[in-house]
């Protein structure tokens, strides 16, 4: 058995190990001793035979890399009597306690933990996870032993796909080291740490700070100082809650349509839209549910749509016409599109969406672009505040940094964004303001004709615009 012992450094690391909050985010800067803190915090209750803990990274390759979590655990756990099983990726301790290592590369992988129970769940580089992955694991945080606290611990640097939700959850409007309680009685806290809080690391690699100081300003501020305000990469840079989110109002006669992105292990995403006389599109309702077959999804959509709503069409991901899974009560060989079309009957017309991603994101940006009316900013797309999942996930999307920079990073929670893209691609483009001698493009002509049609039909009983009744 190894004789190596471990003790937290005074300051941030010590505060991390003594904080009683249910959720705790630790770190911010690089080299703050985050990984070792997670590993040792997970081992705090191994004296209890019924103790189980889970340590996670987004991808297995990140978990198993040299000097990663699994590698570093081999430095400390043998001194606690731990025995390693590489096949099961777990340590077992003398009393019977277990610490497992897991990953969650895809959204659907969270269901791999559906029947599991852990008193401790730790996320390394939590900003690489989606918020739905992170929150789902709360349901797995449980233990029958009252002597063992049930806690979630996370460590990370700023950046990546989870930057926005982590910042909103732990940083914005909150003071470090302060425990906050939400409306459900759950507590959370943020403890910042930098390389200067890790004297052992500084002693072993004294030049690391110098290497961080050589980074470009943005990366240096993030990794050396743990600055959460310099992160760049938000895909929809024009998004502004004050401009694009509005309170629900009564919708009268309107030109309405729907859009959907199907998922089974990941959520199916559906939006209800209405267009007003000025060409502004409102998303006024959302559906965001997992584990629905095609027929179940279609029936749920019909249940959520009143007879007063005359839906002109529902535009969907064209892939569902090639998918023949997840519809247990359909005929063999029928595609998802065929199944949903059959359930909709003559109530909703299902059409194939345009899946050109780059053009589609460009169209979404056109609708988001703010402009002034009577000195106030507005935009041609707005979403009702009751569409909480859309408002939560779409502004969090970031650019793809490993492939086409013009595309969105698909590791994020992008299901509602995809749905929105199909919807906006089904509508006329929004032209820029041009001079009098400008020759209209095809999209601009389509938009102009649509606007003229809307203006000719400004009657209280037509179906072309929204009215506040």
Rounded (10°) CA dihedral 160, 161, 166, 168: 120
pLDDT per position as a tens digit, 384-430: 999 999 999 998 898 886 667 788 888 888 999 999 999 999 997 66
- Using DSSP's 3-state secondary structure scheme, residue 436 falls into coil
Statement: the pTM of the whole predicted model exceeds 0.85: no
Whole-Å CA distances, 63 to 35, 67, 107, 324: 11, 9, 17, 35
CATH, range 12-223: 3.40.50.300
Provide mean pLDDT across the span 91-102. 97
Rounded (10°) CA dihedral 433, 235, 287, 329: 110
Query: Could you name the CATH architecture of 241-456?
Result: 2-Layer Sandwich (3.30)
Among 150-164, 315-329, 336-350, the least confident range: 315-329
pLDDT confidence of residue 226: 75
Residue carrying structure tokens 């979590």: 69
Among 7-16, 246-255, 345-354, the least confident range: 7-16
CB 421 within 8 A of CB 432: no
CB 246 within 8 A of CB 384: yes
pLDDT confidence of residue 194: 76
- What are the residue boundaries of the structural domains of the chain, listed by start? 12-223, 241-456
Tokens of 91: 């340590």
pLDDT confidence of residue 300: 98
pLDDT confidence of residue 34: 85
Provide mean pLDDT across the span 55-75. 91
pLDDT per position as a tens digit, 101-126: 999 999 889 999 999 999 999 999 99
Provide mean pLDDT across the span 151-159. 92
pLDDT beyond 60 at 293: yes
Provide mean pLDDT across the span 310-327. 87
* Exposed / middle / buried, residue 219 (Cβ in 10 Å: 0-12, 13-18, 19+): middle
As a 3-state breakdown, the chain gives helix, strand, coil percent values, each rounded to 5, of 35, 20, 45
């Amino acid at each position: 058995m190894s004789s190596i012992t471990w003790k937290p450094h005074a300051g941030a690391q010590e505060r991390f190990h003594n904080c009683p909050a249910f959720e705790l985010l630790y770190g911010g800067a690089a080299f703050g001793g985050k990984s070792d803190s997670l590993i040792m915090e997970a081992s705090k209750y191994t004296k209890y035979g019924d103790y189980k803990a889970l340590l996670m990274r987004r991808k297995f390759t990140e978990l198993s890399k040299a000097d990663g979590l699994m590698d570093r655990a081999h430095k400390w756990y043998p001194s606690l009597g731990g025995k390693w099983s590489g096949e099961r990726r777990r340590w077992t301790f003398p009393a019977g306690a277990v610490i497992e290592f897991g990953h969650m590369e895809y959204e659907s992988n969270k269901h791999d933990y559906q029947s599991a129970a852990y008193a401790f769940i730790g996320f390394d580089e939590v900003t690489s996870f989606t918020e739905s992955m992170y929150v789902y694991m709360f349901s797995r945080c449980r233990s029958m032993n009252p002597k063992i606290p049930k806690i979630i611990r996370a460590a990370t640097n700023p950046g990546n796909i989870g930057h926005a939700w982590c910042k909103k959850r732990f940083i914005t409007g909150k003071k470090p080291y302060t425990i906050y309680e939400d409306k459900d009685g759950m507590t959370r806290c943020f403890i910042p740490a930098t390389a200067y809080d890790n004297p052992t690391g500084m002693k072993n690699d004294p030049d690391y700070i110098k290497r961080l100081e050589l980074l470009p300003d943005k990366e240096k501020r993030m990794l050396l100082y743990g600055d959460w305000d310099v992160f760049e990469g938000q895909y929809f840079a024009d998004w502004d809650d004050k401009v694009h989110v509005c309170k629900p109002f009564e919708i009268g006669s309107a030109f309405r349509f729907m859009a959907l992105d199907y998922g089974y292990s990941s959520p199916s995403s559906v939006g209800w839209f209405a267009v007003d006389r000025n060409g502004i599109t409102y998303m006024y309702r959302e559906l965001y549910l997992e584990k629905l077959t095609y027929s179940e999804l279609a029936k749920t959509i019909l249940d959520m749509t009143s007879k007063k709503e005359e839906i002109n069409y529902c535009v969907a991901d064209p892939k569902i016409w090639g998918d023949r899974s997840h519809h247990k009560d359909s005929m063999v060989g029928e595609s998802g599109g065929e199944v949903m079309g059959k359930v909709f009957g003559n109530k909703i017309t299902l059409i194939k969406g345009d899946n050109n991603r780059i053009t589609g994101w460009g169209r979404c940006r056109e609708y988001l672009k703010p402009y002034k009316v009577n000195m106030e900013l507005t935009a041609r797309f707005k979403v009702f505040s009751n569409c909480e999942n859309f408002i939560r996930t779409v502004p969090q999307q970031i650019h793809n940094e490993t492939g086409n920079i013009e595309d969105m990073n698909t590791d994020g929670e992008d299901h509602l964004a995809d749905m929105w893209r199909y919807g906006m691609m089904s509508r006329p483009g929004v032209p820029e303001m041009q001079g009098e001698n400008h020759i209209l493009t095809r999209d601009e002509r389509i938009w102009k004709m649509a606007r003229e049609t809307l203006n000719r039909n400004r009657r209280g009983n037509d179906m072309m615009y929204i009215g506040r009744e």
